[in-house]
């Protein structure tokens, strides 16, 4: 599971309108990505953030305003790997030295296929497994990862098999080879059902 840092804050409302935000209380939590969307889309929240920037935000984040904090947040490689839709940026981040950045890039739906295929052979198993889950990974990427997983622990192999088996675009050869790695009967049954469904779909109606 990929999680982003949490920002704790409280919205005080009156008659349906937001009056102020306190970030020193803990009634509601929101991901930083959602917070960015909220502040980016709402002039009212911008105004409230400015009013409270010298007290609440400085106290919690150590920056003079939410805008300064967001600027810093958005310059962070992990944030870019999680939020960016720029193919060049994501290709670069897929080769980042930090495994946490590569993990986030592997889960980003905009990361291009060549980068995802490289991440399938990542030295970090969780990065490789996360990459295997995605629609756009090529069958060569899956097969290369399956071959690499032969020496993995049973638990890691089963996690990889699950990732491939439940990828809707995994091709029959990848499904079959992944199932051969598994000791789980239910997983093999899912593969058999998928392969049978593909054959039935090709029959003339």
Task: Find, among 66, 84, 85, the residue nearest to 75 by Cα.
Answer: 84
Q: What is the pTM of this model?
A: 0.63
Can you give the pLDDT at residue 34?
54
Q: Tell me the HSE value of 187 on the side-chain side, using a 13 A CA sphere.
A: 21
Under 8 Å between Cβ of 52 and 21:
yes
Q: What single string gives the DSSP state of each residue in 159-178?
A: HHHHHHHT-TT--HHHHHHH
Per-residue pLDDT reduced to its tens digit, 17-50? 555 555 543 323 445 455 555 555 555 555 555 5
* Average pLDDT, integer, range 90-105: 93
Quote the pLDDT of residue 2: 39
Give the mean pLDDT of 69-95.
81
Bridge-based pairing state of the strands 17-22 and 6-14: antiparallel
Biggest CA-to-CA distance, the chain:
70
Percentage of residues in the chain with pLDDT exceeding 70? 60
Our measurement of the distance from residue 71's CA atom to the centroid of its chain's CA atoms, rounded to an integer in Å, reads: 21
| Four-residue CA torsion sign, 65, 71, 73, 76 | negative
- Residues 22 and 12: their CA atoms lie apart, in Å, by 8
């Amino acid at each position: 599971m990929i999680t982003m840092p949490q920002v704790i804050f409280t919205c005080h409302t009156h008659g349906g309108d937001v009056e102020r935000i306190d970030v020193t209380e803990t009634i509601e939590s929101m991901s930083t990505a959602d917070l960015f969307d909220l502040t980016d889309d709402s002039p009212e929240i911008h105004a409230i953030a400015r009013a409270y920037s010298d007290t609440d935000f400085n106290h919690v984040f150590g920056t003079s305003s939410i805008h300064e904090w967001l600027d810093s947040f958005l310059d962070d490689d992990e944030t870019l790997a999680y939020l960016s839709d720029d193919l060049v940026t994501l290709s670069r981040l897929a080769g980042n030295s930090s495994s946490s950045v590569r993990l986030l890039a592997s889960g980003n739906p905009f990361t291009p296929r060549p980068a995802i295929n490289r991440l399938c052979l990542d030295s970090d198993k969780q990065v490789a497994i996360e990459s295997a889950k995605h629609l756009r990974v090529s069958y060569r990427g899956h097969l290369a990862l399956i071959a690499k997983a032969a020496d993995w622990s049973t638990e890691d192999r089963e996690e990889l098999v699950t990732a491939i088996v439940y990828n809707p675009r995994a091709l029959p050869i990848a499904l079959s080879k992944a199932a051969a790695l598994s000791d789980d009967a239910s997983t093999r049954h899912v593969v058999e059902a998928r392969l049978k469904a593909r054959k039935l779909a090709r029959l003339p109606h």
